[in-house]
A and B are shown apart, each in its own frame.
Chain A
Amino acid sequence: MLAYAIKRSFAAFLILIVVSGLTFSLSHLSADPALTIAGEQASDEDIQAIRELYGFDRPIYIQYLEWAGRAMTGDFGESYHYGERVSTMIAGRIGTTMSLGVLAILFALIISIPLGVVAAMRPNSLVDRFALLVAVFGQALPTFWFALMMIIVLGVWWRWLPISGNDSWAHFVMPTIALGYYATPALMRLTRAGMIEVLGSDYIRTARAKGLSPTVVLFKHALRNAIIPVVALAAVWFGFMLGGSIVIETIFNLKGIGWLSYDALLRSDLPVVQAIVLIFASLYVVLTLAADLVNAWLDPRISVR
Chain B
Amino acid sequence: MTMISTPGKSFDEIAQETLEPSPFSKLRKRIFGNYSFLAGLIIIMAIFAMALLAPLIAPHNPYETDLASRLMNPFWHEVKTDEEHPLGTDKVGRDYLSRLVYGAQISLLIGFSTMLISGTIGTVLGVAAGYFGGRVDMVVNFIINTRLAMPVFLVAMAAVVAFGASLMVVILVLGLFLWDRFAVVMRSITMQARDLDYVKAARAMGCSTPYIIVREIFPNVIGSLTVVATVEMANAILLEAALSFLGFGVQAPTPSWGLMLNEAREYMFFSPWLLALPGACLFLLVLAINLFGDGLRDVTLEKGR
Contacts and interface: CB of A to CB of B under 8 A. Distances in A.
A and B touch in the complex (CB under 8 A): yes
Interface of A: 11, 14-16, 18-19, 22-23, 26-27, 29-31, 123-124, 128-129, 132, 135-137, 139-145, 148-149, 151-152, 156, 182, 186, 189, 192-193, 196, 232-233, 235-236, 239-240, 242-244, 246-247, 250, 261-262, 265-266, 268, 273, 276-277, 280-281, 284-285, 287-288, 290-292, 294-295
A277 B23 contact: no
Chain A contact residues: over half helix, strand or loop, or mixed?
Answer: helix
B225 interface: no
B24 A26 contact: no
Interface string B227-248: 0000000100010011001111
Interface in B220-271: 234, 238, 241-242, 245-248, 261, 265, 268-269
B124 interface: no
A144 B242 contact: yes
B170 interface: no
B145 interface: yes
Contacts of A129: 27, 31
B28 A291 contact: no
Scoring B8, B145, B151, B158 by chain A CB atoms within 10 A of each residue's CB, the highest score goes to B151
A124 B27 contact: yes
A280 B142 CA distance: 18
Contacts of A244: 1, 153
Contacts of A242: 151
Contacts of A266: 247
Scoring A14, A148, A232 by chain B CB atoms within 10 A of each residue's CB, the highest score goes to A148
7 contacts: A136-B287, A139-B290, A148-B279, A149-B275, A277-B150, A280-B151, A288-B8
Interface residues of B, number: 55
Contacts of B150: 19, 22-23, 277, 281
Contacts of A156: 268-269, 272
Scoring A18, A137, A292 by chain B CB atoms within 10 A of each residue's CB, the highest score goes to A18
6 cross-chain pairs, A with B, having the tightest CB-CB distances, nearest first: A291-B8, A288-B7, A30-B162, A145-B279, A140-B287, A280-B151
A128 B290 CA distance: 19
Given A246-B153, A277-B155, A236 B8 contact: yes
Contacts of B151: 242-243, 277, 280-281, 284
A30 B161 contact: yes
